[in-house]
């Protein structure tokens, strides 16, 4: 038991010297407990780079918080707890990244494409809603002229809508005016 007490006393003295700014004592402390910190970090199932970051962060935070350590002899348990907390923070970050992965653009995609598609969809929805407010005959005429692919010939439109070929142009102009009014001035 005497040897264990001597080791604890030696560790406590080293921690006190580190807290007092002794660089050599800090290096000796890191050298002595690096295997313990590394063992904690590697058991937490992190990737190699994250494990190295957790290891480094543990020592950085430990150096900053060392003056607040009440029992210098408890340093081994204290530093192990710091290492575990760093790993848990990183693992929480994994959870956040996994949940948000679908919202993160991949490098091979054009980041403007989804916005352009969304704008197109919004415009189509507005036009479709406005077509419902201009009357059935106008809506059918404009749909044939602007939505059907390929655009039917005037004689086909005249037959399908039971109208004269010569009236398609003027009717189209009136229907477009109605559509623009229905859409509102801000979209015209």
Picking from 103, 129, 164, the residue at the C-terminal end of a domain is 103
Q: Which residues contact 187 (CB under 8 A, 6 or more apart)?
A: 126, 180
Q: Tell whether 76 and 166 lie within a shared domain.
A: no
| CA distances (Å), origin 50, targets 1, 46, 58, 101 | 39, 6, 12, 18
Q: Tell whether 70 and 135 lie within a shared domain.
A: no
Q: Could you say which DSSP state residue 152 is in?
A: P
Q: Is the dihedral of CA 34, 39, 43, 49 positive or negative?
A: positive
For residue 112, give the 3-state DSSP assignment.
coil
Q: Tell whether 29 and 118 lie within a shared domain.
A: no
Q: Tell whether 95 and 132 lie within a shared domain.
A: no
Given pLDDT bands bounded at 50, 70 and 90, which one contains residue 132? confident
Res 157: pLDDT: 92
108 located within any domain: no
Q: Which residue in the block uniquely carries the two structure tokens 């707890």?
A: 81
Q: What CA–CA distance (Å, rounded) separates 49 from 52?
A: 5
Please say if the pLDDT value at position 173 is more than 50. yes
Q: Tell whether 145 and 121 lie within a shared domain.
A: yes
The Cβ-side half-sphere exposure at 53, using a 13 Å CA radius, reads: 11
What mean pLDDT comes out for the span 96-114? 46
**Structural domains counted in the chain:** 2
Q: What CA–CA distance (Å, rounded) separates 22 from 15?
A: 9
Q: Tell whether 20 and 92 lie within a shared domain.
A: yes
Please say if the pLDDT value at position 116 is more than 70. no
Give yes or no for a contact between 72 and 12, defined as CB atoms under 8 angstroms apart.
Answer: yes
Picking from 52, 68, 103, the residue at the C-terminal end of a domain is 103
Q: Tell whether 83 and 175 lie within a shared domain.
A: no
Picking from 103, 138, 166, the residue at the C-terminal end of a domain is 103
For residue 134, give the 3-state DSSP assignment.
coil
């Amino acid at each position: 038991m005497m040897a264990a007490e001597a080791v604890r006393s030696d560790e406590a003295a080293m921690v006190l010297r580190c807290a007092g700014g002794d660089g050599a004592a800090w290096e000796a402390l890191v050298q002595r407990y690096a295997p313990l910190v590394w063992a904690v970090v590697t058991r937490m199932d992190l990737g190699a780079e994250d494990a190295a970051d957790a290891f480094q962060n543990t020592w950085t935070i430990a150096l900053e918080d060392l003056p607040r350590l009440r029992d210098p002899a408890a340093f081994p348990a204290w530093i192990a707890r710091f290492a575990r907390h760093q790993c848990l923070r990183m693992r929480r970050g994994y959870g956040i990244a996994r949940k948000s992965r679908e919202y993160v653009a991949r490098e091979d995609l054009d980041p403007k494409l989804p916005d352009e598609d969304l704008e197109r969809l919004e415009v189509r929805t507005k036009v479709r809603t406005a077509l419902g407010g201009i009357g059935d005959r106008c809506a059918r005429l404009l749909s044939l002229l602007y939505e059907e692919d390929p655009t039917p010939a005037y004689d086909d439109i005249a037959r399908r809508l039971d109208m004269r070929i010569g009236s398609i142009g003027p009717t189209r102009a009136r229907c477009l005016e109605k559509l623009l009014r229905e859409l509102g001035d801000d979209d015209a």
